[in-house]
Structure 1
């Protein structure tokens, strides 16, 4: 982590979706840089276990951030804290043919993947701008660069997050507040391991992705972790015809299996 990171983005960071995988990796990096960390996710046990491993102060919030009650619980828990950095990492990905999906699941994906980062931006960006410093990271995905069957709804929500963050980056330039979207490819998280039968080429570890995102904060509107993923991003978004890019993603995703529970 670069010098002055804690002074620019502290004293507290909030990680939404912190119980395991990528969120836990963010928490470890932020705590190692000297920031206190608010850990938010649905399950309390993994949050408590993670908090016990961090060297700085922590607050855990066990709440479903796809709901108004969950977001209210997070607001209440952070009311007295100076949040200098937000990582909007929590996400849900319904897998399968859209016509076979329960609308409850697709609505949850929109609420968690789109409304949650938007709500956090409304809550935390104005105080950051008033203080003249801070950071906001929206975790997105290369899946959002084109239609991505059989995760069409997830991909669409990630396109929203990418465009939102890039717009906020431009709006807040010169205020001292940095906004970044991180477009990750395959990441070796427990969720991916449960959904995919084969490891995708170029798969990154959560530690690699978190490190790349935090290193890119303040240096531009987006980062794509991993050389292979950057090449793939350029190929899919700039060189291949749109219908070919969609077909490539469909073939790469054909071994995805639906999660056990929504």
Structure 2
């Protein structure tokens, strides 16, 4: 794994981080800035983006730009492309997410659509817009943030889990297609992350909960080594158990026990 100027040389001078205002997205932005990449930060909360951009510019001397938008909006990718302009984007972090929580029959249809728009279409459009130019240059990278919830059906997170299964499979296909052109793509199936979003929905700390920094570190370290990573030893063991060793119905029932206390934030 390269760091500092080596990371910039390997991937390119600019990164677009979607879902960058807090938690994991902010941690990705911070680490990429530490490694010397300039940043286009994208999220809904403009004030938080401006604060993060200012802090990273001051701390690491990188250029920053911000764009406040909803990744589920139909014109999101066009607005991102317009904001990027002629900057060479060599790295993408698809971290924006919409998480409907609750019994499936109680989720509003509009929220189901939004989950697909943000978690699936938004990631697809980022990949389609930025990966082909990376391939033409022979360098670049993309992190697709998925979830261990997507390794099997996950009650109370049924739609979110399904979108994250989509993201993992998408990342695997992109890894193969673009890897031969020098572009590293990886899907990161994270478990619980100790960030503001977890505090809103979880009543107690889950086993294997990691800090955002730990997830970022393991995800970036896995670039170029394979199509997916599960950060954290406990989570790696759990992923093997759930997806390879247990019968499918047992895996789903275990997830149901783990998510029964989730509540909408």
TM range (shorter): over 0.9
Contact 1:186 1:202 in 2 (8 A): yes
1:110-259 aligned within 5 A? 110-259=116-265
SS at match of 1:136: strand
Partner residue in 1 for 2:99: 93
2:109 counterpart of 1:103: yes
Matched residue SS, 1:52: helix
Contact in 2 for aligned 1:63/1:71 (Cα 8 Å): no
* Number of equivalent positions: 259
TM-score, normalized by length of structure 1? 0.97
**Is the Cα contact below 8 Å between 2:12 and 2:139 reproduced in 1?**
no
Match of 2:79 among 66, 73, 82: 73
In structure 2, the residue matched to 1:34 is 36
* Local SS of the residue matching 2:87: coil
- CA deviations on 1:47-96 (whole Å, 9 max, x unpaired) are 00101111211010001110123332211101221000000000011001
The answer to whether the 8 A contact 1:19-1:50 is kept is: yes
Instruction: Please give the per-residue CA displacement for 1:194-238, whole angstroms capped at 9, x wherever unaligned.
Output: 000101011000000011111111111111110000000000000
8 Å CA contact 1:19–1:46 kept in 2: the answer is yes
Q: Secondary structure at the match of 2:189?
A: strand
| Aligned equivalents of 1:82, 1:109: Cα separation in 2 | 29
Q: Check the 8 A contact 1:187/1:204 in 2, yes or no.
A: yes
The answer for the alignment partner of 2:12 in structure 1 is 10
Unpaired runs of 5+ in structure 1?
A: none
User: Does the aligned pair in 2 maintain the 1:64–1:71 contact within 8 Å?
Assistant: no
SS of aligned partner of 1:87 = strand
Match of 2:26 in 1: 24
Structure 2 CA distance for aligned equivalents of residues 71 and 195 of structure 1:
29
For 2:12 and 2:32, the matched residues in 1 are separated by 9
2:65 pairs with 1:63: no
Q: Is the 8 A contact 2:192 2:209 kept in 1?
A: yes
Q: Deviations over 1:118-173 (max 9, x none)?
A: 00011001100110000011000010011000000000000000000001111122
SS at match of 2:75: helix
8 Å CA contact 1:95, 1:150 repeated in 2: yes
Q: What CA RMSD, in Å, does the superposition of the two structures yield over aligned residues?
A: 0.9
SS in 1 for 2:90: strand
For structure 2, the 5+ residue unaligned runs are: none
C-alpha distance in structure 1 between counterparts of 2:133 and 2:177, whole Å: 15
Q: Using the alignment, how far apart are the partners of 1:166 and 1:191 within structure 2?
A: 27
